[in-house]
Structure 1
Amino acid sequence: MIKITADSTCDLPPELLEQLNITLMPLHVLIDDKDYRDGVDISPKDIFRYVGEGKTCSTAAVNTFEYETFFAELSPKFEAIIHICLGSEFSSCYQNAKLAADSFDNIFIINSSNLSTGSGHMVYEAALLAKEGVKPVEICSHLNSIIPKVDASFVIDKMDYLRKGGRCSGVEAIGATLLKIKPSIEVIEGKLAVGKKYRGNFDRCLTNYVKDRLENNDKIDTRRLFITHSDCSAETVATIKEAVGRYIQFDEIIETTAGCTISSHCGPNTLGILYMRKN
């Protein structure tokens, strides 16, 4: 039997993790001087509360010793473990997991070159193939082949969290607020880039974002789409589901909540549609 594991940043919903027997390795969330484990003893709502209280929030990678301990428990129980990491440009998780895996002969480490459900697509694919009995080397080959096909992007309502994390200046954040600019953030070749900037009401910006991504786009793999968001209202998510349906009928639309890593950098009211391209 093959075991699929992943960093907690893949943002897959608990029911899917349980259904496909996927085990997560939590990253660290640092609030002032206190260390929490992503999704275990802290949630995005906790982060928003702490930040609202003026506390400093940051995230940290899983270290090599933690990965070694994690793999040592699983390695004897399975034919192989395939671990999908947060992209190497975003964290040292991949490098640390690779070092840890050197101590084992049945552990495969995949650099997703992505984050959130961009990585989640790969974790899901791996779990489905493992369930079908596909060999580990073939699963890894498939995962590496789809890395450039994953389309991951988000729209951010306010730039306060990006400013606090040092990812934009105070002047940029203030200017964006005054002009009601909602930037889209895209993963391109494993790195974050600013995409189109939308203006106006958040829901209208999101609707235009969905149109830009999906309208007249025949290169999309229609098997699956993730709507991943950070503390958006049910009404907003419903609006986006409806907007998606106007352009493409996906076999499966999965709503997921962004975990602590995305939430700590982007803040509440962040939403993205994440899918794969055919080529």
Structure 2
Amino acid sequence: MGAIKFFADSTCDLPPAWIEKYDIGIVPLYVTFGDTNYRDGVDLQPPQLYQKVDETGRLPKTAAPSPADFMQAFAPFIEEGRQVLYISLSSELSSTYQNALIASEEFSEGQVTVFDSLNLSTGIGLQVMKAVRAAAEGKSVTEIVALLEAVRSRVETEFVIDSLDYLYKGGRCSGMQNLVGSLLRIRPVIKVTEGKMTPAYKVRGSREKALDQLLENAISRIPEMDRDLIFITHSLADADAVQLQKVLQAKTGAREVAVSNAGCVISSHCGAKTIGILYTKSLN
């Protein structure tokens, strides 16, 4: 048992086996259909999410864990004498970070540290794994936070969204944009910039064309990549993810190119068959 207990939230999209192996605590966000709240990844999985959206024709609402949720999650480890380091979903996207800060104030100074990833999905997960590995090398919480501050702005997050339907249902594009985009087979590409989801560009044509562009963008940046860990993260796009994994592994020679599944919160904003490539730029 390490002196530091790492926490993330359910939007980090790390593979379950990794969460167990590295003893990472997960605080779930909430997904709400009507009057029913579901804990992301605990009470609801993406296939069930999509089924409910198809049945109702509406997207769920999503909500941050409460300060009480964080206090309940952190307390047992503080009682064991461990320090807690929580790496959160971007403060620009959710009140998750702020609620964790509120919770941290209920403990003695230095017992709980809250770090804003300014990212989402495995853009958070990459930072969590940097922290886990630094702790294994004997680094302190202060040293790990300094490392994360250096890494945070170097995380590259780029997703291809397969359909405009979920952006439309979520109020992020108009009915006319959805109709025209569907007719022209336009697929938006989303990046994370300064903690916010921003449209990077659009690909018109087949899904294969969009994936080729995503892959080409990543390959063009190989010289600046930290090739320790690269993620392919997706929502119900297993075959495409495996294919991207094979190509990136061959092209980059990375220590590991891992595939992970997007959880319900990420999926509810982007929709099925969304797929992304996430990595950090080298600090050297």
Mark yes or no: TM-score above 0.5: yes
TM-score relative to the length of structure 1: 0.96
Contact 2:90 2:97 in 1 (8 A): yes
How far apart are residue 167 of structure 1 and its match? 1.4
Q: Which runs of 5 or more structure 1 residues have no equivalent in the other structure?
A: none
Letter of the aligned partner of 1:91 in structure 2? S
Output the CA distance in 2 between the equivalents of 1:247 and 1:98: 41
Name the counterpart of 1:214: 219
| Equivalent residue for 2:4, pick from 2, 5, 8 | 2
**Structure 1 pair 131/158, CA: closer, same or farther in 2 (3 Å)?**
same
**Structure 1 pair 254/216, CA: closer, same or farther in 2 (3 Å)?**
closer
Of 114-123 and 197-206, the range deviating more from structure 2: 197-206
| Equivalent residue for 2:267, pick from 260, 263, 266 | 263
Name the counterpart of 2:21: 19
How far apart are residue 204 of structure 1 and its match? 2.8
Name the counterpart of 1:275: 279
| Equivalent residue for 2:205, pick from 200, 206, 213 | 200
How far apart are residue 214 of structure 1 and its match? 2.1
How far apart are residue 213 of structure 1 and its match? 2.7
Name the counterpart of 1:173: 178
1:133 aligns with 2:138: yes
1:82 aligns with 2:85: yes
Name the counterpart of 2:229: 224
Contact 1:58 1:165 in 2 (8 A): no
Contact 1:215 1:247 in 2 (8 A): no
| Equivalent residue for 2:38, pick from 36, 39, 42 | 36
Output the CA distance in 1 between the equivalents of 2:214 and 2:59: 31
Identity in percent:
39
Q: Which runs of 5 or more structure 2 residues have no equivalent in the other structure?
A: none
Name the counterpart of 1:71: 74
**Structure 1 pair 244/88, CA: closer, same or farther in 2 (3 Å)?**
same
Output the CA distance in 2 between the equivalents of 1:133 and 1:18: 20
1:134 aligns to what SS in structure 2? coil
Contact 1:3 1:130 in 2 (8 A): no
Output the CA distance in 1 between the equivalents of 2:66 and 2:264: 18
1:12 aligns to what SS in structure 2? coil
1:253 aligns with 2:257: yes
1:191 aligns with 2:196: yes
2:153 aligns to what SS in structure 1? helix
Contact 1:29 1:35 in 2 (8 A): yes
How far apart are residue 95 of structure 1 and its match? 0.6
1:161 aligns with 2:166: yes
Give aligned pairs, total.
278
